[in-house]
Amino acid sequence: MSALGHYLEEEGIASVAIALIRPQAEHTRPPRALWVPFELGRPIGPPSDPVFQRQVILSALGMLVEGGGPVRIVDFPDDDPREAFDPNWQAPLNPHPNPPPQAGEGEFGVPAAATPSPASGGGSGWGFGSELAEAVEAELGAMAPAYAASCVARERSTVGLSGLPPAECGAYVAAWLRGERPASPVVDMSPGLALRFAIDDLKAFALEAALIPGTQPSSKQLGDWLWNETVLGAGLKLLRRTILAGDDDRLKAAAAFFVPALRVPPGG
Amino acid sequence: MRLEKLPAEMAKRLSDLECPDFKTTPWVEGPPLKDRRVAIVSSAGLVVRGDKVFRGRDADYRAIPSTTSANDLLCSHISINFDRNGFQEDWNVVFPLDRLNELAAEGTIGSVAATHYSFMGATDPVQMVDGAREVAAKLKADHVDAVLLTSV
């Protein structure tokens, strides 16, 4: 980001970067950067807080007329209040009667060590998860009303990278969980790329379903729910682990983007 | 980001990420904010719904007209190791167009650009130079003289 500021300034346009990682700004030495202490992904700070966001933006834009450069890095003083836990937030319905297992225990009673791999499974793949696939699709269906209500409240959705409706994303991911090797449902995407974007869309679908109007959950609350309590989270971790244990390098490249690093169970 | 909040290994990787070693330090001054025309340039992999999503470490960029609605802006950044909940709840967390429009309406800034731009931040910045120069030319054609850069 700071490099873009350098390039734009070389072309005669004044710029100020909002930097989340201070050492990177220090190394790149942009004309101007406002370092903010917020979590990655939130350069302007808390969502739904126009007053706080305005402070951040004015702090940054103010640097355009303050002089003191080139190479001026200023620290924004305040932390993001939305990092706090919201006790009023409740997860949307999880319809599965049995909670998904904890990391490392295997999914739905199947010990992790017994999970078939593409290499050992033979035939069409690693057919291990018909029950899981069914549960994922059922859970997505149960989340649909909450997702729809959330879209109405926010007047938007960020689902759409794959170009498929959420139900088709769910069906495609479920097919992989059943051990099939389905063709890509997207004309100009490989199966692996379509799988990556379909999973991105399902994560967005679930997390947007969890944005309950009137509550202010932290990202940690939402992430803990998605990755520790939902069948979708359990399924994505299992799919990642299984594909990475296989020998299809293109699929493995896609699977690396299924689960955030901080949510990968010990041992993968 | 307070790096001490991250696992040490991840913090070190982010802190030690290789960055360009520029030999020059360009610096452009300009008029007061009330006379500036401001654009957003983001490295969040933003894309208007229906436009070509970023698929990997692409070096090109996408245009985002000021008329874009919040429902039509997607984040296709390849990294999954940053929060997306904030953007999902409120696009201003990454793309503060509403805030800029408010600042322009009250006269704190002069105006808001007709078009904004996004790159893919996971790309080697050295590969972005051609795209950045194209964007600069387009911004100048739009009379933009101030850019707010947002990363994720």
Question: Is the pLDDT confidence value at A103 over 50?
Answer: no
Which pLDDT score is estimated for A267?
Answer: 81
Per-residue model confidence as pLDDT tens digits over A29-49: 999 999 999 999 999 999 999
- Given a contact cutoff of 8 angstroms between Cβ atoms, the answer to whether A46 and A53 are in contact is yes
Among A219, A205, A230, A221, residue whose Cα is nearest residue A150:
A205
For the residues B108-115, what does the mean pLDDT come to?
Answer: 98
DSSP H or E stretch at residue A143: helix A130-154
Q: Where are the domains of chain A?
A: 2-82, 112-263
Contact B93 A47 (CB under 8 A): yes
Q: Across the interface, which of B38, B96, B149 has its CB nearest the CB of A4?
A: B149
Structure tokens given for A161? 């990278």
Residue of B nearest to A262 (CA): B81
Q: Where are the domains of chain B?
A: 43-150
Question: Is the pLDDT confidence value at A246 over 80?
Answer: yes
For the residues A22-34, what does the mean pLDDT come to?
Answer: 94
For the residues B34-54, what does the mean pLDDT come to?
Answer: 97
Which pLDDT score is estimated for A120?
Answer: 33
Per-residue model confidence as pLDDT tens digits over A43-92: 999 999 999 999 999 999 999 999 898 999 999 999 999 999 999 999 98
Least confident of A11-15, A94-98, A127-131, A201-205: A94-98
Contact A61 B49 (CB under 8 A): no
Q: How far is B65 from chain A (nearest CA, A)?
A: 17
Which pLDDT score is estimated for A112?
Answer: 36
Question: Looking at this predicted complex, what is its ipTM?
Answer: 0.96
Residues of chain A neighbouring B71 (CB-CB closer than 8 A):
155-157
Question: Is the pLDDT confidence value at A114 over 50?
Answer: no
Q: How many CB atoms lie within 10 A of CB A226?
A: 21
Radius of gyration of chain A (CA): 22
Contact B89 A154 (CB under 8 A): yes
For the entire predicted model, the pTM comes to: 0.91
Q: Which amino acid is at A191?
A: P
Question: Is the pLDDT confidence value at A239 over 50?
Answer: yes
For the residues A164-193, what does the mean pLDDT come to?
Answer: 96
